[in-house]
Structure 1
Amino acid sequence: MDFREALLSSFEDEENMILCNSILGMSDAEQIVADMNDFCRCHLNSSIHSCLHISFSVGASFGFELENGNQIFIKVHKPTSADTITAISKPYLTAVSSVQKSLAESGFPCPRVLLEPTELGAGIATVDEFAAPGELRDAHVPAIRAAIAQTLAQLIKSTEPYRDAPGFASGRFGASETLYPIPHNDLFNFNRTAKGAEWIDAIAVKAKNTVNRIKGRVVLGHLDWSLKHFRFSGNEVAMVYDWDSLKLEDELNVLGIAAATFTTTWDIPVKITPSQEESYAFVKEYEQFRGSAFTGEEWTKVSAATTYCLAYVARCEHALDQEGNNYEGSFRHALASMVGELYLDV
């Protein structure tokens, strides 16, 4: 599809327009097309032939086929301060690209890096190959769930040599002075939408206190280990995306985030939340692939981290849907249906 046409089509969704303005500082389609073409000609020696993908969230993501036939994926990141959950800077993205490059070369299922992080307007662009092997699968299928857990354990082991490399940002899970961190993009305003969310906050307070009371070991882990970033070949993981989520974080928090969101995608028609039993099974499978058992206290922290993550996403949902029109199957629904005080209490 023509890039300009694809961009204008994406702007028919008002949320995309809001996010584009917040990330790129503008939503002028003509200027964005010109800037992207200039960038590709300067750094990749070819103009854009067609657009393969556009999405906006924490960053502005574009898949292109260039005139020379190469297929690339550009993500433009808005720099943010180190005390936010995104913590985007050029040194950080450079550290991520270095590890991602090494992982890809070792055979880990992630895209090859094509260009070091480079300024693009007011943002910083990362450029990878556009890699979409295999297919999308449902993580409610036990074999797919186990593959996602196994790949997370593999990642944690593979990144151990890079844990002390300069430039990496800390994930800051549970570190904010307020109950929740500043939301990850401009669509969510927790202060303006607090009414009706008191029950979510009450669950989050207890879970966060437990998260911060129990300490685990710091690892270099992926903090958005959700189905939307995966492709599969059969029951094996074929590709993992979103490597700007690679941060230093307590392993138990990394696992809790994954246990809360490993089923989450809007790309295929599946339930986005795991059941309590599925989250518990995911953690047990990770524990098996990890090769060493968690203590009772560590299990408590993983359960608290899972619950706190569910509460954060539930608050994001509430910010956009205060009337509860999209409640069925949501994170709010999962949290409200929870048996016990923490999500792994099964």
Structure 2
Amino acid sequence: MNLQEALRFSFEDKENIILCNSILGSIDAHHIAAELDNFCIHLLGSAIFSALYIGFSVGASFGLELENGMRIFIKIHRPTPPGTITAISHASLTAVSSVQKSLAEIGFPCPRVVGEPMEFGAALATVDVFSVPGELKDAHNPAIRGSIARTLAQLIQLTEPYKSVNGLTYGRFCADDTLYPIPHNELFNFERTSQGAEWIDAIAERAKTLVTRINGREVLGHLDWSLKHFRFQRDEVVMVYDWDSLKLEDELNVLGIAAATFTTTWDIPVRITPSQEESLAFVNEYEQARGTKISSDERAKISAAATYCMAYVARCEHALDSHGNNYDGSFRQALAAMRGDLYLDV
């Protein structure tokens, strides 16, 4: 499918229209396709032949095949202030690309970087090789869960020498004075949709109090370690995406976020939430791969971080579905059924 047709097809989803306009400042498929075509000709000397993938969330993502046969992945970001959870700047993207490039060179399963981040109108663009090895799999399978946990431990070990790279940003998990940060994209307005979400907020508040009371060591970790960003060959991870999520953060927060969301994808028909037992098993598998014991205080913080993360996602769900039409299998349902005050209390 050519890019213009693919864009028009994606705009059949009204959420994509909102997100595309917030990132690119336009929903004119002809204009966007022409701008991307010009960008590829300028950067890589070839026009676009076809669209392989289009997605909108924090950024606008395009998998493209060029006329010269090259396959690339362009992600376009709207610059955002440093005090937000989605802080994006030319310096931060350049820093992340340099770390990603180094990781790919030593064999870590991430896409190869094609070039440094560049301006794309008023936005910023990163360009990677479009790489889709292996297949999608269900992380409720213990073998897949263990592979994801081990790969996270490996990543944090490998990125230790890069923590001082200039331009890296902080994750700011639970760092805001308000209960929640500014949501990560234009679809979610927590203030306008607060009615009926008081029970979620109460869980988030309890969890956040504990998160901010205990400190772990600072690491350079991936803050969206969820199944939607993974591909597997047999039971091993062969590709991880979404590298603008690489940020400096407390290791215990990184692990809590991952324990809450490692099963999450909408690309295959699986339950998006882990059970409490599965989240705990993920932490245990990470501990084993890390090679050092996690203390009881650290486990309490990991559990609080996981619970807070789930509450944030539940609030995002509520913002779009305040009547609960999509409640079954949701993060709201998982929190409502939670045994104990925190998600890993099993």
Q: State the TM bucket, normalised to the shorter chain.
A: over 0.9
How far residue 173 of structure 1 moved from its aligned partner, in angstroms, is 0.1
**Number of residue pairs matched?**
346
Say whether residues 1:270 and 2:270 are aligned partners: yes
CA distance in 2, matches of 1:241, 1:122: 24
AA partner of residue 304 (structure 1): A
Cα-to-partner distance string for 1:136-162 (whole Å, 9 max, x where unaligned): 000000000000000000000000000
Alpha-carbon distance in structure 2 between the residues aligned to 1:26 and 1:65: 23
SS at 1:274's partner residue? Answer: coil
Equivalence map 1:177-326=2 (5 Å):
177-326=177-326
Task: Report the residue type matching 1:268 in the other structure.
Answer: I
Distance in 2 of aligned mates of 1:266 and 1:15: 15
Once the two structures are TM-superposed, the CA of residue 177 in structure 1 deviates from its matched residue by 1.1
Paired residue secondary structure (1:213): coil
Q: How does 1:28-177 map to 2 (within 5 A)?
A: 28-177=28-177
Q: CA-to-partner distance for each residue in 1:234-292, whole Å, 9 max, x for gaps?
A: 00001000000000000000000000000000000000000000000000000000000
1:268-324 deviation digits (Å, cap 9, x = unpaired):
000000000000000000000000011110000000000000000000000000000
Counterpart CA distance in 2 for 1:199 and 1:75 is 36
Cα distance in 1 for partners of 2:291, 2:77 equals 36
SS in 1 for 2:4: helix
- Between stretches 192-201 and 28-37, larger displacement belongs to 28-37
Cα distance in 1 for partners of 2:177, 2:311 equals 16
CA distance in 1, matches of 2:321, 2:118: 37
Q: Summarize deviations over 1:105-159 as a string: whole Å, max 9, x none.
A: 0000000000100000111000000000000000000000000000000000000
Which amino acid counterpart does residue 193 of structure 2 have in structure 1?
Answer: T
3-state DSSP class of the match of 2:85? Answer: coil
Please give the alpha-carbon distance, in whole angstroms, between the structure 2 residues aligned to 1:124 and 1:248.
21
Distance 1:123 1:140 in 2: 37
- List structure 1 runs of 4+ shifted beyond 4 angstroms: none
Q: What are the superposed Cα offsets for residues 179-209 of structure 1, whole Å, 9 maximum, x if unpaired?
A: 0000000000000000000000000001001
Cα shift at 1:23? 0.3
Structure 1 residue identity aligned to 2:135 = E
Q: State the one-letter code of the partner of 1:236.
A: E
- Separation (CA, whole Å) in 2 of partners of 1:64 and 1:319: 32
Q: What letter is aligned with 1:70? A: M
Give the distance between the partners of 2:218 and 2:89, measured in 1 at CA. Answer: 21
Alpha-carbon deviations, 1:41-65, whole Å to 9, x = none? 0001100000000000000000000
Q: How far apart in 1 are the matches of 2:33 and 2:144?
A: 38
1:265 match: secondary structure: coil
Letter in 1 for 2:49: H
Where do 5+ consecutive residues of structure 2 fail to align?
Answer: none
Residue 11 (structure 1) aligns with? 11
Separation in 1 of the partners of 2:7 and 2:121?
A: 18
Which amino acid in the other structure matches residue 199 of structure 1?
W
SS at 2:203 equivalent: helix
Write the distance in 1 (CA, Å) between the matches of 2:176 and 2:335: 22
* Residue matched to 2:341: 341
The letter for the 2-side match of 1:152 is: L
Q: TM-score, normalised by structure 2?
A: 1.00
Q: Which amino acid aligns with 2:43?
A: H
SS at match of 1:341: coil
SS at match of 2:212: helix
Q: Which residue of 2 aligns with 1:331?
A: 331
SS at match of 1:220: strand
Shift of 1:164: 1.1
> SS of the counterpart of 1:118?
strand
Shift of 1:165: 1.1
Paired amino acid for 1:124: L
TM-score, structure 1 normalization: 1.00
Distance 1:90 1:193 in 2: 33
